Structure 1
């Protein structure tokens, strides 16, 4: 195991409409750090939940976003490879710009069942958690910076896109990889990441719901072997600089333990 990895759990409101993600955030980080045999640190605590429009949610999420931005910057400055655990995807609004600030050539691999490329003007729901990528790309101004480039971005496992997201991905020629493509050919991914820094974002709803429980689950997801195949490819061809794992939100202990098995198995390449 690379001893430069450090698990950082960052808890608090980031557009949460339910409390499930916040309730298990630190416990998940503790169990993952034990599995990987790495150091862990905890920041924040569960807060309120509210169904807010993106602008109000962004304002109320300022504390956790500011903390996430400063913590990942500090981890990089100290020579660590951070593994961030956060309740919701919205924290990527603050973390991905810091990744690109420190590693301008970095390729971002983004696992998610959803597109996460709506904007304040294209979103039907107004949900902040659907907008982190476009914020990090500078399509709209979140106040937390940008820097992610479409040609250095790979979206994996998506299967529930809004029409505006289909248009965004097509217009910007973003590399999208489905479950079937992972099984058949990873040559384009390997070309893009070859000898480049790589940061991996995993929203656990990318998994098949029978493998990992997620609040916003979508059928026909990835199995553990698909995530393992990508992580193995990153290890062989790129330079992994960190990860971010979000949306882990089981409601019962049974769901939690069941999900740990598949999730940790998908990350087993990190142990060697």
Structure 2
């Protein structure tokens, strides 16, 4: 199994995440954020498209999933999306108070403002009905409003089963802040009341067991400057990667 490492939080280089399989390192070229992310995610898409499936991508934020999905599409596959996250990630530039792009990737994947980055990646929009949000326990009012009227579905971690998954090939995305922060130190946007590591891994295992996962996208959304003396973060990533190793064996 080949793991593609994207050692960035948006365009911020994270040397602590760097290693074998990294797509780049150091400052990214480009005049503005969109140009820098477009170049980075185009590289991710090319690497995914050229990799044996299922592809595995490990990064520092959720927006890298745009490159992962674009790469799967470039390989000739039209995937559905299973998105584990404490947040909805369905903000827009118009609705977000902070303007944080990491809170918008699901909207981009569903066709919002393709001129900003999706068109440059060759990314085709996913139908809302092909998207399942898992957990999404922390929603801003605009996100809750959007989800109440959209075809995107939401379920809890324990509810994940073959009966609730969208049809077809799956991109499985896991933002590790879906896990309760008491079990995973240093999360940038920790939200109380999350599932345990064991429950999240078990739910991911149920998705992988369908045999339909064509890409696993892991967002390591912690601050690498915060120590993890127990090694909890490394262990959970290893467990998730182990699921794919078993699936491919």
Task: Give the TM interval when normalised to the shorter protein.
Answer: 0.7 to 0.9
**Which has the higher mean CA deviation after the structures are superposed, 258-267 or 240-249?**
258-267
1:155-174 Cα offsets, whole Å, 9 max, x none, are 11211111111122121132
Higher helix share: 1
Counterpart of 1:168 in structure 2 is 146
Note if contact 1:202-1:245 (Cα within 8 Å) is conserved in structure 2.
yes
Q: Is the 8 A contact 2:45 2:72 kept in 1?
A: no
The answer as to whether partners of 2:111 and 2:124 remain within 8 angstroms in 1 is yes
- Give me the whole-angstrom Cα distance separating, in 2, the residues matched to 1:259 and 1:228: 13
| Partner residue, 1:52 | none
Give the TM-score taking structure 2 as reference length: 0.82
Stretches of structure 1 that go unaligned for 5 or more consecutive residues are 28-39, 49-54
Residue aligning to 1:7:
3
Q: Secondary structure at the match of 2:86?
A: coil
Which whole-Å CA distance do the structure 2 matches of 1:99 and 1:71 have between them?
10
Alignment of 1:1-272 (within 5 A): 5-12=1-8, 14-16=10-12, 22-27=14-19, 41-47=21-27, 56-75=32-51, 79-102=52-75, 104-141=77-114, 142=117, 143=119, 144=121, 145-179=123-157, 182=158, 186=161, 188-190=163-165, 192-193=166-167, 196-213=168-185, 214-246=187-219, 247-255=221-229, 257-265=231-239, 268-272=242-246
Cα offset for 1:249?
A: 3.3
Q: Which runs of 4+ in 1 moved over 4 A?
A: none
Give distance in 2, aligned partners of 1:198 and 1:136.
Answer: 14
Q: Deviations over 1:9-29 (max 9, x none)?
A: 12346254xx6xx132225xx
Deviations 1:138-171 (A, max 9, x none): 1211233233221111111211111111122121
The 8 Å contact of residues 96 and 148 in structure 1, kept in 2 or not, is answered as no
| Alignment check: 8 A CA contact 2:57 2:68 kept | no
For this pair of structures, how many residues does the alignment match? 237
TM-score, normalization by structure 1 = 0.76
Q: CA deviation at 1:253?
A: 4.5
Q: 1:185 to 1:178 in 2, by over 3 A?
A: closer
Residues 13 and 47 of structure 1 are in contact (CA less than 8 Å); yes or no, is this contact kept in structure 2? no
RMSD: 2.6
Q: Distance in 2 between matches of 1:123 and 1:140?
A: 14
Q: Deviations over 1:67-95 (max 9, x none)?
A: 112221222xxx33221112221222332
